[in-house]
């Protein structure tokens, strides 16, 4: 359906794409969640997919919403999330790449995205992608003006099996140019003793495949990392809480180290 080319994508019946938690949080960590939700604007219907596909990992990052919200509370950290499905537009992809509005995800054809016009694609960017990233920019600017340090942590989850291949990692640290935060995070995660930790696995950050870390972290000179948790470990509330507790403890240790090294001030 290409109705979005001639009318507004989001109506008064649709919720805004951006949602925030703990906006007054004083932690140096700024948390983002690009694939928090799986909503679809009413005008797009179901994108031609059955409900069974819209609840799979192709539509959102299963389990990460609960982890992100609990972690925000534990750390007293500001959390910014995006509530629409990555099948509408992927808010962690450069808008010009094919995977921004996917025609195929894993082995599923997204018929509602086939033959999409340039105008309709621009509408999705203007009403979902741009407000989310504009808000992240605004918050980083506000924190800088207020003298608050900002360490960007982008939260994601990954499917345990992709294209028939099982993934052994429990959690992965994703990064590109930052040499401060990722090594600390890797060291502390591996010290846990019960985890298989991915070093830029199951994904690696790059300018071609990612947006949040390259644009908001690296281009602005902020310490940053992506965190990917395997979805079967956070598929219920107990798992979400356990991982939020663990990450809060580890990130708390990292904050102490960064302050001791005089890499952050407040």
pLDDT, tens digit (0-9, with 9 covering 90-100), for 26-36 = 999 999 999 99
* Residues above pLDDT 90, as percent of the chain: 91
Residue 1: band (very low, low, confident or very high) from pLDDT cuts 50, 70, 90: very low
Q: What pTM did the predictor assign?
A: 0.95
Q: Give the length of the chain.
A: 266
Do the Cβ atoms of 21 and 69 come closer than 8 Å? yes
CA pair distance 39, 28, nearest whole angstrom: 30
Residue 66 has pLDDT above 50, yes or no: yes
Starting at the earlier edge strand, list the strands of the sheet with 197-199: 18-21, 78-82, 29-33, 151-158, 224-230, 171-174, 197-199
Residue 108's DSSP bridge partners are: 105
């Amino acid at each position: 359906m290409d109705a979005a080319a001639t009318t507004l994508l989001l109506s008064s019946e649709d919720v805004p794409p951006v949602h925030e938690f703990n906006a007054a949080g004083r932690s140096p960590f700024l948390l983002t969640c690009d694939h928090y939700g799986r909503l679809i604007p009413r005008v797009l219907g179901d994108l031609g997919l059955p409900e069974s596909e819209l609840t799979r990992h192709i539509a959102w990052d299963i389990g990460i919403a609960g982890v992100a919200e609990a972690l925000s509370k534990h750390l007293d950290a500001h959390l910014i999330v995006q509530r629409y499905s990555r099948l509408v537009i992927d808010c962690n992809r450069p808008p010009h790449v094919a995977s921004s509005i996917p025609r195929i995800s894993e082995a599923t054809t997204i018929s509602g995205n086939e033959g999409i016009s340039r105008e309709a694609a621009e509408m999705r960017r203007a009403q979902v992608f741009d407000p989310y990233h504009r808000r992240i920019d605004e918050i980083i600017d506000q924190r800088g003006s207020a003298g608050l340090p900002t360490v960007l942590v982008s939260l994601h989850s990954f499917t345990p099996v992709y294209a028939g291949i099982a993934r052994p990692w429990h959690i992965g640290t994703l990064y590109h140019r930052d040499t401060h935060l990722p090594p600390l995070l890797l060291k502390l995660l591996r010290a846990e003793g019960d985890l298989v930790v991915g070093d830029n696995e199951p994904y690696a950050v790059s300018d071609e495949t990612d947006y949040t870390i390259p644009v908001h972290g690296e281009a602005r000179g902020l310490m940053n990392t992506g965190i990917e948790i395997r979805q079967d470990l956070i598929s219920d509330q107990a798992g979400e809480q356990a991982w939020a507790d663990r990450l809060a403890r580890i990130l708390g240790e990292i904050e102490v180290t960064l302050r001791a090294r005089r890499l952050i001030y407040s």
